[in-house]
Amino acid sequence: MKLIYLIFILSFIFIQASAQELFPNTEPASNCPKGVLTIRQINEFFTEYTPSHDTSRTRSMNGLMIMYGVSSKLMLTLTATASNHHGSVLYESDKFIKEKDGIIDTHGVAYGNDYPYRFNGFDLKAKYKFINNDGERRHFRMAAYGEVSTCRVPHDEAEPDLMDDNAGIAGGLIATQLIKRLAISATLGCIIPYYYRQNWYQDLGEMKLYYGNAVNYSLSFGYLLFPAKYKNYKQVNVNIYLEFLGEDYQAVKIYLSNIQNANSPIYLDPGSLALQAGRYLEARPGIQFIFNSNTRIDLSLATTIPDGYGGYLLGHSYTRMYPAYFINFQHYFFLK
Amino acid sequence: MVICLLVLTNYFANAQFTSVMVAVDGLTCSACSYATQKSLFELDFVADVQMDLNTHIATVTFKTDKKISIDKIAQKVIDAGFSVGSLNAVFNFKEVTVSNDYCLTYEGDVYRFISTKEKTLSGSSSIKFIGEKFMRKKDFKKWKGQMSGTCSSKDSINSTSKIYFVTPA
């Protein structure tokens, strides 16, 4: 309830003040203009602190995104990412699965491992704008998207992320309303990740890891802070953003081919929180600078919403530590 | 030769395009305006595009040796991801008397006047383009019923002519 109040108050403040829809962390229903190629370089990093070892390391994910406006309604986005989030396989030493006295179950995911920087895969997204109601300095648009990813890495959490961690498919709807300097956009989608497989140790045979299906949602606000009045294309534009992103995902299912009951998933230890079903909503405030009307820099961070008692009001993601920082560089190329 | 003919036709025409003012709807950011302006520049008959970043009205001027297509101008705005709120063209008229269903032929295209009281246009006059592509949906609803009937003079119209509906602005 508190969050609904917070969102309500924030939208009220924005509307009172008088935009933008070039959100750093989500896509609006609008597309790139036809024939325009956009290149965005994306970076995410956070510090992973391991209390048990009193060590910390920086986890980073970097990617290159190419967007192209096929028509005024259809846009294609191809993203390639690399990160140091995963090893080449899940190791026995990660204590991902434990076997004691013939009982096999999961173990709390061990944080604190150093992994090499590796290429994750490609993600292809098509977005089709099917409603376009334009007015003077305003518009309402709706789009549907479909996505397919090849990022089949040894991801050890239930929450799927096609851009970085999981192969799979996704789809959803986006609605964006823009009124003068303010933009509000909402996304509702689902993610169906593909399983991951590898041979496990201790003669347990092939391990198949089915990640949870997920519903993803977001609500984004953007506001054009500067310039108050446009003079020319050279003016630096400053936009501020507040986005809320979250997922509601199912638990992981792990199958081992060589155990007695191979058709049933192994028991998930209640302490393996990252493998259990979960849901969260995180806040991502951000600021954006647009130069020469064709080059933009986005700075944003992900943070949890505190409950005032040292916990989280609406959960948190197990795939990153907070605050996580995001920097995007983007340039539009007019091909014709 | 074609260029020569075009130039000559325009020279002897009783009306001549000077510019088009396109109100682009849905724009609020300068990057979007920039994309729209760039998109309009791709048309081979466009000499210049001036975009007012606050009112989002693009003023398009033309090359004299190329055939102008108002349809293509509207399509470029749509391709850029936006819509045409209104489209007015400035014609330089030489004593042309227009009335309801009067058809002006220019560069092979037909400009048919609707909802027009008889008057003589002389010098620089603005005409408004009527059509689904050229105006807001709610404005188009008001005009839709009037887009029927035939030209009062058919002499210079051939089957390949593109017909635009216009009215004095």
pLDDT for res B155: 57
Tell me what the pLDDT averaged over chain A comes to: 87
Contact A208, A273 (CB under 8 A): no
CATH code, domain carrying B54:
3.30.70.100
Task: Indicate the Cα dihedral angle A226, A231, A236, A240, nearest 10°.
Answer: 20
* Distance of residue B72 Cα from the nearest chain A Cα, in angstroms: 14
A332: contact with B, CB 8 A cutoff: yes
**A85 phi/psi in degrees, rounded to 5:** -90, -20
What DSSP element (H or E) covers A172? strand A167-179
Identify the residue among A30, A31, A34 best suited for mutation to test binding to B, counting B beta carbons within 10 A and taking the highest: A34
Q: Among the CATH numbers 2.30.30.180, 2.40.160.40, 3.40.50.10860, 3.90.1150.30, which is that of A2-334?
A: 2.40.160.40
Domain boundaries, chain A: 2-334
CA distances, A147 to each of A142, A144, A196, A216, B97 (Å): 17, 10, 18, 13, 59
Q: What is the pTM of this model?
A: 0.84
Residue reference for tokens 């509000």:
A184
Q: What's residue A249's pLDDT?
A: 97
Q: Are A310 and A242 in contact (CB under 8 A)?
A: no
CA pair distance B169, B157, nearest whole angstrom: 24
pLDDT-derived band of residue A241, with 50, 70 and 90 as boundaries? very high
How high is the pLDDT of residue B39? Answer: 87
Over residues B97-144, the pLDDT tens digits come to 888 888 888 888 888 888 888 888 888 889 999 999 999 888 899 888
Contact in structure between A51 and A147 (CB atoms under 8 Å): no
* Strands, sheet with A196-199, edge to edge from the N-terminal-most edge strand: A196-199, A206-210, A253-256
Among the residues of chain A, which ranges form H helices?
A: 2-17
ipTM greater than 0.85: no
pLDDT at A272 over 70: yes
Q: Is the pLDDT of residue A253 over 70?
A: yes
Tokens of A4: 């609904």
A237 reaches B (C-beta below 8 A): yes
Q: Does residue B101 sit within a domain?
A: no
pLDDT digits (tens, 9 = 90+) for A118-155: 999 999 999 999 998 888 778 899 999 999 999 988 88
Stretch A209-230: mean pLDDT, rounded? 92
- Counted across chains A and B, CB pairs separated by less than 8 A come out at 97
Residue among A20, A138, A231 whose CB faces B29 most closely = A20
How far apart, in whole angstroms, are the C-alpha atoms of residue B112 and residue B102? 6
Per CB-CB distance under 8 Å, the chain B contacts of A20 are 28-29
Residue B161 lies in a domain: no
* Residue numbers of the domain that contains B130: 2-92+123-151
pLDDT in tens, B48-76: 999 888 888 999 999 888 888 999 999 99
Mean pLDDT of chain B: 83
Indicate the number of domains in chain B.
1
B17 three-state secondary structure: strand
The pLDDT > 90 percentage for chain A reads 51
- DSSP string computed for B83-96: EEEEEEEEEEEEEE
CA–CA separation, B5 vs A254, rounded Å? 77
